[in-house]
Structure 1
Amino acid sequence: MTDRIHRFDALDNFRDYGDYDTAAGRRIAPGRLFRAAHRRDQPSKRPPGWAGQVLDSDLGPDGEAPHIRFLRTADLTVDAGRTFMTNIYRTLPFEPAHLDLFARYFRALGEGEGAVLIHCTAGKDRTGTLAALTHHLLGVHRDDLIADYLLTNTAVDLAGMAPKVARQLEKVTGRPAAHDAVVAFLGVEPVYLETAFAGIEDRHGSLDAYLEQALGVDARLRDRIGERLSA
């Protein structure tokens, strides 16, 4: 599975989230669906040589505000970080800005041409949820869906990034953060995505109903997406 990860000097967590078998007996074509974090050098949000569509799933400073409030006020421990991230995922699928973004993304999948790149600050939460919803829509087995979501923990050198991030956090908060807590904050866990899906099922009854009722993915659009992305 790690062969879907692509390495760039200034771009983390870049990978192909296509190339999976689906319940309909099809396979998602490789080279059509990509996800990533933002470029660290920021001259462009496109990777070198990229010619496809780019959908920015980052909400900018306002979208990061809950993370900043948490870092300034909460205990910077592994358990506190997990609790915070679980709570983020509980509401993530229902934020108005996310609903608009997700709906535009699925329309782009059905109507656009060529490859699509989705990304956000770390390429793991908003982007990870959106990729997982795509996998569900296309009929990817839940085990593969979860495994792909967890690839962030392999695609990113979490332990290597942690010391630099810890120094940045101390500048922002005035408090030291334990190495293990920073690693946990940078990564993902199954419970995060499972929490998002459980919240969707509680409100809408199923992921399919959420896709249709909240995001406008009706049977016609679903079919177009399936046709366009099948190998």
Structure 2
Amino acid sequence: MKKWTEVFFILLIGMMMQNCAYKTTYQTIEFSAFDEMYPSITEKDKFYEGKFVKGDHVISPSHVTIYTDSIIKFSKDRRPIVEVVREQDTATYSNRLIQLNDVHNFRDLGGIVTQQGRSTKWGMIYRSGHLHKLKKREEDKLLNLGIRQVIDLRTDREIKKKADHLPKGIEYVNYQAYEDSEDMFTKTRKDVIKGNITPEKADALVVEFYKLYPLDDLSKVREIVFEILDNDEAILFHCSAGKDRTGMIGAILLSILDVNRAVIIQEYMLSNNYRKEEVSSRMKLAKFGKMFFPRLNYQVVENFSWVKPIYIEAMFDAIEGEYGSMESYIQDGLGIDDNMRQKFLNRFTH
């Protein structure tokens, strides 16, 4: 567990520089093309907007308000889930990003095509950042999504500082796939501010974290996976920013559900798309802080704020290095045999 004390600080920056935009990045940031792969439905302030390809046959719910050649507007009385027929193939679409004030990176893992040509079901598995700032007026929205259980992947110290605010009727469960045996937050904050961490070291430590997480406490990862998949009701899992621990668990879940690796990585990279404003605020605060701490490196802050393909690829590489393949990890490491996996596929895909 000593390695955790060295890499734990990669989670710090998400708490250290919240709530504070800058115009440019200090390095090339990669964004996901995932939302461009499918017809999209976006949640607006007063309606949902669906953009489809001209010629699509959209089997719409009754709450359509405006219907043009390629754009449909839905009222906000309920979340739209629509069927689209294109070239005799039928697929189901909804809004992936869920809009909640001050709850970041909240998204649905539905509508993802598997290698068998099936799709993950909408409204079953959600992922997000922490729910500490969930507003009372938005609790009904969480309940209306059908979510009845929240799995928190954070440490005790993180939870103590920013506990989730949940409405009645939602069960809360905490699983920690590593232990913060030492309080690294204070030390790491000083290291970042003093400029003791280079961008290269930052990347290396993030990569190391991704290598350790799925293997270091496998029994806990197994518990998390089964808590999510062995469940008939909608479930939400999250960490602090909803990008690293949540991203890894999401990648493992989608692997179990037979989603192609390249598609999994594109879904993982959506955290960059959905966290632009949050990261921009952090960088604005970092720019202000540099006046007082001149050795603060903007790129280091960025490396802890964005996700990169090399991070999640490091997780897959570590798993395959230990088990030979992702399939062996699923079967031998997580204990999911063919019958159990088929049960999960039947439950979460169609």
Same fold (TM over 0.5): yes
Deviation string 1:29-52 (CA, Å, 9 cap, x unpaired) is 1111110110242689x7843333
Partners of 2:120 and 2:345 in 1: how far apart?
8
1:137 alignment counterpart:
256
Q: Which residue of 2 aligns with 1:216?
A: 335
Aligned partner of 1:49: which letter? L
SS for the counterpart of 2:118 is: coil
- Kindly indicate whether the alpha-carbon contact (under 8 Å) linking 1:11 and 1:47 is maintained by their aligned counterparts in 2: no
- How many matched pairs? 226
Structure-2 residue corresponding to 1:18: 110
Conserved in 1, the CA contact under 8 Å of 2:103 and 2:134? no
Three-state SS of the structure 1 residue aligned to 2:105 is strand
Distance 1:227 1:168 in 2: 51
Offset at residue 12 of structure 1 (A): 0.7
Residue 231 of structure 2 is matched in structure 1 by: 112
- The correspondence of residues 22-101 of structure 1 with structure 2, limited to 5 A, is 22-41=114-133, 48-50=141-143, 51-61=147-157, 62-63=179-180, 65=183, 69-73=187-191, 75-96=196-217, 99-101=218-220
Mapped pair 1:4 → 2:96: yes
Gaps of 5+ in 2: 1-33, 36-94, 158-178
In structure 2, the CA distance between the partners of 1:67 and 1:142, relative to structure 1 (3 Å rule), is: farther
Residue identity opposite 1:33 in structure 2: I
**Deviation digits for residues 192-216 of structure 1 (CA, Å, limit 9, x no counterpart):** 1111111111111111211222222
The runs of 4+ residues in structure 1 deviating greater than 6 Å are: 165-171
SS of 1:4's partner is coil
Structure 1 residue 146 corresponds to structure 2 residue 265: yes
Larger helix share, 1 or 2: 1
Q: Residue type matched to 2:150 in 1?
A: V
Q: Output the CA distance in 1 between the equivalents of 2:101 and 2:201.
A: 32
Question: For residues 295 and 104 of structure 2, what CA distance do their matches in structure 1 show?
Answer: 25
CA contact (8 A) 2:100 2:134 kept: no
- Distance 1:140-1:182 versus aligned 2 partners, 3 A rule: same
State how far apart, in whole Å, the 2-side matches of 1:87 and 1:177 are: 22
Q: Mark the runs of 5 or more structure 1 residues left unpaired by the alignment.
A: none
CA positional deviation for 1:112: 1.3
Aligned AA (1:87): E
After superposition, the C-alpha distances for 1:66-125 in whole angstroms (9 at most, x for unaligned) are: 6665444463443232121111112111122xx233212332344311212110011111
What letter is aligned with 1:38? H
CA distance in 2, matches of 1:92, 1:18: 25
Q: Which one has more relative contact order, counting CA pairs under 8 Å at least 6 apart?
A: 1
Matched residue SS, 1:177: coil
Rounded to whole Å, the distance in 2 between the matches of 1:223 and 1:26 is: 13
Which string of whole-angstrom CA distances, capped at 9 and with x for unpartnered residues, describes residues 12-62 of structure 1? 111112211111121111111110110242689x78433332111223334
Q: Quick one: percent identity of the two aligned structures?
A: 25
Distance 1:168 1:101, change over 3 A: farther
For residue 88 of structure 1, what is the amino acid of its counterpart? F
Structure 2 CA distance for partners of 1:19 and 1:89, relative to 1, 3 Å: same
